[in-house]
Amino acid sequence: MSSSDPATRPEPDAGRPYDAVVVGAGFGGLRMLHELRGLGLRTLVVDEAEDVGGTWHWNRYPGCRTDSESWYYCYSFSPELEKEWQWSERFPAQAEVADYLRFVADRLDMRRDIRFGTRVDAAEFDDDANVWRLRTDAGDEITATYYVAAQGILSAPYLPDFPGIDTFDGEVLFTPRWPHDRDLDFAGKRVAIVGTGATGVQLVPVVSRTADHTTVFQRTATYVVPSRNHVLEDVQRIELDRDRDAMWKRTELHPMALPYPPSAGRLGVDLSDEERRRALDAGWERGTFRFMFEMFDDMMTDPEINKVVADFVRDKIRSIVTDPETAELLCPDDHGVGSKRPPLGQHYYEAYNRDNVDLVSVKKTPIQEITPRGIRVGDQEYEVDVIIFATGFDAVTGGFTRVDVRGRSGASLAQRWADGPETVLAMAVDDFPNFFMVLGPQGPYAILTVVIEHTAQWIGQAIAAAREAGTDRIEARPDAVSDWNQEVLDAVAPTMAVRGSESWLFGANIPGKARVVQQYFGGFHTWLEKIREESAAGFPHFTLGAKTGAASDPARRAS
């Protein structure tokens, strides 16, 4: 049965509130549905797309694949699912991840609780009725006691306002809204790629393989580490299966939720130049994020050590890219390693050795306009047939604030976060009772599938705690929000990341957006400990069962 078959689509809420509504049917939303079903809650999931997948539904540009390894880029709540699903590669391509999420949805018969093709535009908390009222683009209202926003951190695409974009005679493509209805063939075409973040880095080698000519427009060069992707052999799968339980346990101890040793176990400052070089060579051969995060424990705190790593990558770029001018343009010179979210590449730098690939730096001279024939930079016009924009997202907060969410005071989440997001442990906000977020702002900078798993469990526990206390109302306390905000600020202070970062991690890629740390850099393991303490103690930083204004009424607190 197809996802858009009316028989699979839940009827609009005919007046009776759902126990819970979840917005988003990606990794987070599906996991949340499973959790809420487990609590016996009548739950509806709503998604704008026509199928499950979330980010893996929309981002189907050529070369799109995970840069987390497949064996932990998946759910851990069901040993059966883990056994049934076999990944084909270390870093699976978009289609395989989308298939995986379809497999989970079908295997757990989730589609009957999902309404596809419906965008939620607004949500308002009705204090008297203790329900959330969600307005959809179809003009109807969905009501539910609990509202879980599961849009994720990268769901609001960002396309800069380039003058003349509508005048272009060729085809304009935007990676997070890649066409679903046709295969694109770049053979014989001159293609422009704008943007060299993780998306652009995946596009360049693949598009340039078939395009007649590819011109890459780069504003900021990044440190791209080789992914060393490979197919998974049966023998590796057997090993991975055997290790599965221990692997998930290891993720709980790691600052980034990786199933690897939590620390490099060495300080760059203690090593000789030769020892550092040996470590860097070995790390480069192994590739993956481990190159960055397991190199030296002082890489993010000691600028000298960070520079050692940065110089090493710059040398690698110069040794791979044969044209010295192009190599220099590809060498990052304005930020340290790790202060932007690092991309993983598969033959990225090598692609610039092709005769049909050019790199244009738009750092000093920005893109001035899009013309009918191409892209103008300064007084030079680059004529192309296709422009691909890989210009990123209004990350972390954008997916949540795109919905006009209003709490019990009537103030919106967007207003509330105008100077930067504030949450308790990335999952709740005061003034927004019964509202939870999966991958909300101020959450750990870590492997998202693992964060989702623990977030869903915790939200389930919070709702269960309210119910056990004989109520269907739970709200974060304002002091808890300020406390977590302070912890988030304190955690980022000692790291390199805080220094001059122009990254989406700090909201810096969106004109006019508050420049403030959007994620928690104190480590996934620390966050996990804190959320576990909170639930084990009966949610002391929340008010259970109180109506408006009761957050300051201690007699009505559960603890």
Q: Which of 329, 406, 513 is nearest to 132 (CA)?
A: 406
- 215 vs 473: CA distance, rounded Å: 55
- 355 vs 208: CA distance, rounded Å: 10
198 binds ligand NAP (CB under 6 A): yes
Stretch that binds ligand NAP, among 35-43, 65-73, 297-305, 327-335 (CB under 6 A): 65-73
Stretch that binds ligand NAP, among 102-110, 283-291, 474-482, 502-510 (CB under 6 A): 502-510
Q: Could you say which residues in the range 376-435 bind ligand NAP, by CB under 6 A?
A: 390-393
**3-state DSSP helix/strand/coil % of the chain, to nearest 5:** 35, 20, 45
Q: Is the dihedral of CA 290, 206, 198, 236 positive or negative?
A: negative
In the three-class reduction of DSSP (H, G, I as helix; E, B as strand; rest coil), residue 122 is classed as: strand
Q: Which is nearer to ligand NAP, 64 or 544 (CB)?
A: 64
29 binds ligand NAP (CB under 6 A): no
Q: Which of 335, 296, 337 is nearest to 313 (CA)?
A: 337
Read off the tokens for 556.
């009505």
Q: Which is nearer to ligand NAP, 74 or 429 (CB)?
A: 74
Q: Please identify the residue of the shown chain whose CB is closest to the bound ligand NAP.
A: 197
From the number of C-beta atoms within 10 Å of its C-beta (0-12, 13-18, 19+), residue 489 rates as: middle
256 binds ligand NAP (CB under 6 A): no
Among 10, 152, 195, 441, binds ligand NAP (CB under 6 A): 195
26 binds ligand NAP (CB under 6 A): no
155 binds ligand NAP (CB under 6 A): no
Which are the contacts of 9, defined by CB distance < 8 A and separation ≥ 6? 114, 115, 116
CB-CB neighbours of 27 under 10 Å: 30
Among 509, 518, 519, 543, binds ligand NAP (CB under 6 A): 509
Read off the tokens for 449.
């599938």
Stretch that binds ligand NAP, among 38-46, 60-68, 259-267, 312-320 (CB under 6 A): 60-68
Quote the least distance from Cβ 376 to ligand NAP, whole Å: 12
Helix (H) or strand (E) holding 225: strand 225-226
Q: Could you say which residues in the range 209-238 bind ligand NAP, by CB under 6 A?
A: 217, 219-220
Read off the tokens for 435.
């509202």
In the three-class reduction of DSSP (H, G, I as helix; E, B as strand; rest coil), residue 224 is classed as: coil
Task: Compose the 323-352 pattern: x for residues touching ligand NAP by CB under 6 A, - for all others.
Answer: ------------------x-----------
Give the length of the chain: 559
Among 154, 305, 310, 329, binds ligand NAP (CB under 6 A): 154
Q: Which is nearer to ligand NAP, 57 or 541 (CB)?
A: 57
Among 264, 362, 464, 498, binds ligand NAP (CB under 6 A): 362
Stretch that binds ligand NAP, among 37-45, 316-324, 361-369, 527-535 (CB under 6 A): 361-369
From the number of C-beta atoms within 10 Å of its C-beta (0-12, 13-18, 19+), residue 251 rates as: buried
441 binds ligand NAP (CB under 6 A): no
How do strand 374-377 and strand 367-370 relate by DSSP bridges? antiparallel
Among 367, 396, 427, 451, binds ligand NAP (CB under 6 A): 367
488 binds ligand NAP (CB under 6 A): no
Residues that bind ligand NAP (CB under 6 A): 65-67, 154, 160, 194-200, 202, 217, 219-220, 341, 362, 366-367, 390-393, 502, 504, 509
